[in-house]
Structure 1
Amino acid sequence: MGGLKEECGLFGISSAHKEHIGLGCHYGLYALQHRGQEGCGIALNTDGELSLQKDLGLVNEVFPKALVFDEEKTRMAIVHTRYGTSGERSRENVQPLLVRHHAGSMAIAHNGNLTNDESLRSQFERDGCLFHTTSDTEVIAYLIYKHRLTTHTIAEAIEKAMAELEGAYSLLIMTSSQLIAVRDPRGFRPLCLGKLEDGYVFASESCALDAVGASFVRDLQPGEICIVDRADQRLTSSIVHTNKVKSSLCVFELIYFARPDSVIDTISVHQARIRSGSFLALEHPCQADVVIGVPDSGIDAAIGYSRQSGIPYGIGFIKNKYIGRTFIQPKAGDRESGVRIKLNPIASTVRGKRVVLIDDSIVRGTTSKRIVRLLREAGAKEVHLRSSAPPFLHPCYYGTDINSRKDLLACKYDMQQMKTILDVDSLGFLLPEQVVKLSDHPCIGFCSACFTGVYPGAVPQGGNNAQ
């Protein structure tokens, strides 16, 4: 995996059972730790009063002990794991954000990236607003409060704000009386609903529902606003189509970001990755002795390649489970060091053999090059590298940290040059036209603009020319 950063994890819970909140917050954070390792936070609703605990670090660093709160009066909470694609790495940018306003307090957590953040921020600053963070989440909060002054309910304010927001956003918003989940009209980022015996749960991925013992109800539809009332745990929802658009789930959720045990928009992440490996075996066959995957997100695709090709699957690497995903490191040198201590090859699997190495993607190539070197040092006779994603050729503006073409390996070199740089005997990528086939549900639309350059929504001014 070539050093991508990505988005965040959202989890919200509303329950009449006092034990559900504390355990739910912790279990939800841990279940979504893979979506963000920069920082995390919890916002609590205690008898209508909102409070916030957050900091930089992993969940077990920020919350090493049981959460301290008033169990008798706390019935709602939202939590967030962050890796920022917008805004600096600072405690202030860790979410949820808590905003106090004469129209009422609000905690907000965001997964995604706005494409009109700069224009909205400039407009608010001209009007005299002061920003305390560099995150586009604060822009969303300001926009909601702007409309809250002229509407009867927070839901109406959110609906008006959605008409002005461009880009990707799944939101959890908590007021003194409501827990609100919002998904943008194109559904770029996932968000699902679960049911507890006496309440509801929202989460970025269904694996978090499983962690707290909630039953999966459904994915929120693109453009949906879903509200739970604190007083009686009543659920209401509405679809807000600010424009008629096709759903555009980020396909990289299936390829890399999501946990394989999650189901997103009715799609099994595990099965999607198995399918990608099968496509790779058909498109890029080779003579080899063993197929191995780069842990964790390359393993399922490796199994798919093995099944389709008939080449035996083997465990090629042991992963140090106490090291975070390499994309968390902001600098290339740090990512290189992370690979060294994160992965160790099993020499008996690869020594003297022709190896098919399956990785989820090749972005900048630095991590892939190091992994190939580890296999060579372990005695692999040949290394045939396969990527279960197409070549990255274009910037992403919707929540994945690829903001220019200049560092993308496939933008600078042709196939033969990449093969030489990576020191592999052969190289193959998933075909862009196969991306849409990762799901067996034809009604689900995908955003694959980072591969094709075809953007489903607005991009920042000058964005199509980003270099």
Structure 2
Amino acid sequence: MSDESVFDELNEECGVFGVFGHPDAVNLTYYGLHALQHRGQESAGIVSSEGGTFTSHRGMGLVTEVFNRATLEKLSGDTAIGHVRYSTTGESLLSNAQPLVFKYREGDIALATNGNLVNAMPIKHQLERMGSIFQTTSDTEVIAHLIARSGYSDLREAVKEALRMVKGAYAFLIMTNDQLIAALDPHGIRPLVMGRLGDSYVFASESCAFDAIGAEYEREVEPGEMIVIDRDGIQTDSITGQTRRAVCSFEYIYFARPDSDVGGLNVHAVRKRLGKQLFEEAPADADVVTGVPDSSISAAIGYAEAAGFPYELGLIKNRYIGRTFIQPNQQLREQGVKMKLSAVRRVVEGKRVVMIDDSIVRGTTSRRIVRLLREAGAAEVHVRISSPPVKNPCFYGIDTADRNGLIAASHSVEEIREAIQADSLAFLSISGLLKAIGQGGGGPHHGMCLACFDGVYPTEIYEDALVKQG
């Protein structure tokens, strides 16, 4: 197994936020992005529109690092869109930070997206042969070129035509001088919700962003739906009549904040059910249950309740370790995990501990955490994972390694247990996952994308995507 990084977590590509028709749109977008910071920590940006004029600011780093009072005061307007990014397509460069702004024959246009287009490279190569010059390596720019080349003079029709040409996962916010467009891919793989703040409309990747600004949740954007808002009101349209919901199951397992609702379900409540289902499938004879902070805590509480064991904070996360912390050699990598996570000796010493985590990618993190617990005096460490084994790469906006880097793709559960040095190991079953989320029965219409578990992708996967991800 590789020791390339201290934490082999899954990382989501990004989050989007938008406001139309509010005098404080810029500050609202700032607070909305702050609530979505967990979806991307690489870069952040805001573009606003006032009287047909765009102002923008983008930068590398966290929202609070990119923006301050001075930069926010330079932005103005009653319409704005914002973005936080973690790159899966395109390099970690300022030029790839979103929202991207382009000149269009009808005026300026800004784009922000969450997701990944699986056929972006073939389209890009075709556009380059036709004379297009790309300024970034982000697949989002492909949409801008398709819109610019459209034969439709009406922007709405040009956007629809462009979106019909791309495949994959996307939740788009597109801002022009006088309108805001929200669009979701025909499978709804990435979440996008709409809310109201007085007479203003707001959009976000997660409903927790509405709570941050006091907005009222209205509804989810439907798969294949395009919503257009301008001074005359709101209109809805369909990108395609062929839709089938396949929301990413990891939104429930890991990505979304516990206080968000996805598909009408509270994420914290779902994760507790995942933990309870996990105990039903894989009980452990133990003294205490602990979760790997933060995303596994809800599942650990559910497991503990079902088991009748006490839930304890056996692992504490240091929240002040920067994301750019560098581990230049193996010794410092090992020290790095102790800087970010600490085991509480008085909780685990002499105890048989059940450690709940949401996933195992390469296995390096799990092995180090098991070691932390043993060094703190744990008598036994039983690892339980609140998702099925991740055996396949994701092409829709999660930076899973190629298949060769996924330990479950080539190792049995027992082999993984030996590799992470746990006393026992068990994963949640796919049927148990569906049952806990409330999608029991499975089959092709269960409403979720489970491709990383079962290899069944909701869209065609193109050769360039396979090469990129392995």
TM value normalised by structure 2: 0.92
How many angstroms apart in 2 are the aligned matches of 1:42 and 1:296? 28
Q: Note the 1:314-325 alignment, pairs <5 A.
A: 314-323=312-321
Shift of 1:166: 0.5
Q: Note the 1:151-190 alignment, pairs <5 A.
A: 151-190=152-191
The answer to whether 1:135 aligns with 2:130 is no
The answer to whether 1:43 aligns with 2:44 is no
Give the root-mean-square deviation of aligned CA atoms. 2.2
Aligned residues: 458
SS in 2 for 1:418: helix
Q: Report if the CA contact (8 A) 1:336-1:366 is conserved.
A: no
Shift of 1:41: 0.3
Q: Report if the CA contact (8 A) 1:224-1:237 is conserved.
A: yes
Shift of 1:69: 4.0
Q: Report if the CA contact (8 A) 1:335-1:367 is conserved.
A: no
Q: Report if the CA contact (8 A) 2:37-2:84 is conserved.
A: yes
Shift of 1:272: 1.2
Q: Note the 1:47-66 alignment, pairs <5 A.
A: 47-65=51-69
Deviations 1:123-154 (CA, angstroms, capped at 9, x unpaired): 0110111111111011111112222xx22421
Question: What residue in structure 1 maps to residue 291 of structure 2?
Answer: 293
Q: Report if the CA contact (8 A) 1:2-1:361 is conserved.
A: no
Distance 1:329 1:125, change over 3 A: farther
How many angstroms apart in 1 are the aligned matches of 2:57 and 2:337? 32
Question: What residue in structure 1 maps to residue 384 of structure 2?
Answer: 386
Question: What residue in structure 1 maps to residue 422 of structure 2?
Answer: 424
Structure 1 unaligned residues grouped into runs of 5+: none
Question: What residue in structure 2 maps to residue 220 of structure 1?
Answer: 221
Q: Note the 1:61-76 alignment, pairs <5 A.
A: 61-65=65-69, 67-69=71-73, 74-76=77-79
Q: Report if the CA contact (8 A) 1:281-1:308 is conserved.
A: yes
Q: Note the 1:173-252 alignment, pairs <5 A.
A: 173-229=174-230, 231=231, 234-242=233-241, 244-252=242-250
The answer to whether 1:118 aligns with 2:121 is yes
Paired residue type of 2:133: L
Distance 1:348 1:29, change over 3 A: same
Q: Report if the CA contact (8 A) 1:46-1:70 is conserved.
A: no
Q: Report if the CA contact (8 A) 2:143-2:163 is conserved.
A: no
How many angstroms apart in 2 are the aligned matches of 1:464 and 1:435? 27
Question: What residue in structure 2 maps to residue 77 of structure 1?
Answer: 80
Question: What residue in structure 1 maps to residue 4 of structure 2?
Answer: none
TM value normalised by structure 1: 0.93
Percent identical among aligned pairs is 47
Shift of 1:412: 2.7
Paired residue type of 2:16: L
Question: What residue in structure 2 maps to residue 406 of structure 1?
Answer: 404
How many angstroms apart in 1 are the aligned matches of 2:329 and 2:188? 31
Shift of 1:164: 0.7
Paired residue type of 2:117: L
Distance 1:281 1:52, change over 3 A: same
Distance 1:445 1:62, change over 3 A: same
Shift of 1:380: 0.6
Structure 2 unaligned residues grouped into runs of 5+: 1-6
Paired residue type of 1:9: G
Distance 1:144 1:329, change over 3 A: farther
Shift of 1:93: 0.5
Q: Note the 1:442-457 alignment, pairs <5 A.
A: 445-457=447-459
SS in 2 for 1:100: strand
Shift of 1:252: 0.5
How many angstroms apart in 2 are the aligned matches of 1:440 and 1:410? 25
How many angstroms apart in 2 are the aligned matches of 1:332 and 1:168? 37
How many angstroms apart in 1 are the aligned matches of 2:436 and 2:27? 35
SS in 1 for 2:223: coil
The answer to whether 1:32 aligns with 2:24 is no
